[in-house]
Amino acid sequence: MDMTKTILMKQTALKREAVLVDQEKAVEWSIESEFIPHLIGSVYKAKVEKVMPNMQAAFIDIGSDKNGFLHRDELYAFQKDQREGKDVLSIAQYLKAGTELIVQVTKESDGTKGPRLTEIISLPGHGIVYLPAGQEVSISKKIDDESKRQELKEKMSPLLQEDEGMIIRTQGNGASIEEISEELRFLRALWQKTQTHQDQIPYRLYQGSSLIEQLVKRQSKEELHEWVVDHYDDFKLVQQLLPASLKDRVRLVPGNEDVFSTVQKQLDKALRRHVWLKNGGYLIFDETEALTVVDINSGKYKKKKDKFAMAIEVNEEAAIEICRQLRLRNYSGMVLIDFIEMENERAQKKIVTLVEKELEQDLVKTSVKGFTKLGMLELTRKKTARPIAEVLQEPCPTCHGSGRVLTDFGHAFQLENELVGYRGEACIIIGAHSSIRELFYENDEAVLKRLEAWMDARIYFVENNSLSSRKPYEVIFQGDYDSAKQRLKSLAISD
């Protein structure tokens, strides 16, 4: 039995955090807080705001900041018509403004886009996923034994009522009929309970699974070594929700013990743009709204090997680390990886195989597309939640999210451009950081003299290091010479 995975979970006044550790490496990091919106899995009684036939979609008011987006293909009626072989209809034939319906969030809001919605409701459990209108038993693709799949269908179908359906998850493969039946009854009752609160629209009928529930659903006795918790209530809840075979693997530690002490440095690195590799190479992660780009560099690699042998060694370690960082940072969408140039296609295929193998551990759906014509490896990862960096960080108010700030020269150039608006003034007094002032006073004030000639004005710099680094200078006076002398005197500065 290869039990390599440990869950570390701690609770503070503001949040609950969990880190999945595999072979001493942090591979997943989740944060739950009342201050962090979590919509995925939640079910709403909602109303259609606007139908867009050209997009085959509708915008739905679920009560959040942005209207949700519902595509025609996610409607019960459309899927029913397709099964029956009827002609494909426009979404306008199914919905109109003001229509009330029940929808579930499948994807969080992203930038300017609202949450993605479906009318195909599903409530996940540990061994099954309950579909109130699924109408059949489906089996996880990971259960690939055809005879086993048929057996499960035959045994579980009689448990369903009316239009119900269920999906047998991988964890439910070894469960008894009694265990599946009990879980089905629980999820059915949970769904029926939501149907009693539908007066207000929009209204949230069902809250998506909590962090603990999500983690419980994923555990198996073959993988979970230990679940370490620092809060008594969480300890009892985890024990209550886990199957009997896993309850003894939950451990409570004193609240004053830092559960994350062994992985904190790894979590800190997951918020950085640069990540160093053991062999001296390093990675650079750059995010845009549409994609994530990862650049690989040889850095401090010093082994005496030819460039292609070096490329293979750095690229292989980078591939493993990138796959871990994708999970840990929870990146999604398109990912482009710029590996160091390799000798031939055979070397590229070796990297593709390695990436595919590493991503097998990722429970989020990924797809490795291969190398592009420009030599970058392309892959996609399904969005399930916001990236950790988006939760914990915001654009820098100094660089406005560019990741760069102006140098002293950059600020000096910017100042010169702004001074154009003061041409015609006899004197100008500028407050500035000492480093900016020194640029103009170097070489016997040669730069300052050129600036004065260019402006046809007398210019004074007053040192002020309390100004913001975002704009380390300011024009504090413009006018005639005598007034400038008085102002300088008030600033205790002599000509």
Give the DSSP letter of residue 365.
Answer: -
279-323 pLDDT, tens digit each: 999 999 998 878 999 999 988 887 767 788 888 999 999 999 999
Residue 347 lies in a domain: yes
Q: CA-CA distance, 392 to 78, in Å (whole number)?
A: 40
Q: Is the pLDDT of residue 61 over 80?
A: yes
**Does residue 372 sit in the same domain as residue 357?**
yes
CATH number at residue 467: 3.40.1260.20
Per the domain annotation, does 399 fall within a domain?
Answer: no
- In terms of domains, do 162 and 302 share one? no
473 inside domain: yes
Whether 216 is covered by a domain: the verdict is no
196 — pLDDT class (breaks 50, 70, 90): low
Which single residue is written with the structure tokens 């089905």?
A: 184
Strand, helix or coil for residue 455: helix
- Residue 197: predicted pLDDT: 60
**pLDDT score for 416:** 92
Helix or strand or coil: residue 348? helix
Indicate if 456 and 356 belong to the same structural domain. no
Tell whether 369 is covered by a domain.
yes
418-428 mean pLDDT: 93
Query: pLDDT above 90 covers what percent of the chain?
Result: 49
Residue 461 has pLDDT above 80, yes or no: yes
Q: Which of these ranges, 20-29, 115-124, 194-203, has the smallest mean pLDDT? A: 194-203
> CA nearest 69: which of 84, 50, 54, 82?
50
Task: Return the SS3 of 29.
Answer: strand
Q: At what angle do helices 345-359 and 307-329 cross, to 10 degrees?
A: 20
Mean pLDDT, range 27-42, rounded to an integer: 85
Asked if residue 29 is part of any domain, the answer here is yes
According to the model, what pLDDT value does residue 2 have? Answer: 60
Confidence of residue 198 (pLDDT cuts 50, 70, 90): low
Closest CA to 461 of 483, 446, 477: 477
Q: What is the rounded average pLDDT for all residues in the chain?
A: 88
CATH number at residue 127: 2.40.50.140
Looking at the domain assignment, is residue 165 inside a domain? yes
pTM: 0.75
Q: Same domain for 188 and 76?
A: yes
Is the model more confident about 377 or about 89? 377
**57 and 189 belong to one structural domain:** yes
Check which CATH number belongs to the domain holding 343 and give it. Answer: 3.40.630
**CB within 8 A of 63, min separation 6: which ones?**
44, 46, 202, 203, 204
Does 293 share its domain with 386? yes
Coil vs helix vs strand at 379: strand
The domain containing residue 338 runs over which residues?
273-392
Do 170 and 231 lie in one domain? The reply is no
**Residue 223 and residue 5: Cα distance in Å, rounded?**
6
Confidence of residue 493 (pLDDT cuts 50, 70, 90): low
Selected residue with higher pLDDT from 478 and 494: 478
Strands (E), 230-357: 250-252, 274-276, 282-287, 291-297, 333-338
Do 178 and 63 share a structural domain?
Answer: yes
- Reported as a single tens digit per residue, the pLDDT across 365-405 is 899 999 999 899 999 998 878 889 888 888 888 887 777 88
Identify whether residues 179 and 294 lie together within a single domain.
no
Same domain, 388 and 452: no
Residues 178/38, Cβ–Cβ less than 8 Å: no
What percentage of the chain exceeds 70 in pLDDT? 97
Q: What is the pLDDT of residues 156-184, one digit of tens each?
A: 888 888 888 888 887 777 778 888 888 88
What CA–CA distance (Å, rounded) separates 465 from 435?
Answer: 9
Co-location of 170 and 195 in the same domain: yes
Give me the pLDDT at residue 152, please: 84
Q: Which among 360, 380, 358 is positioned nearest to 368, based on CA atoms? A: 380
pLDDT confidence of residue 495: 44
- In terms of domains, do 63 and 141 share one? yes
- Judge whether 315 and 360 are in contact, CB under 8 Å: no
Q: What is the number of domains present in the chain?
A: 4
Which amino acid would we find at residue 338?
A: D
Q: How confident is the model at residue 1, as a pLDDT?
A: 44
Residue 118: pLDDT above 80? yes
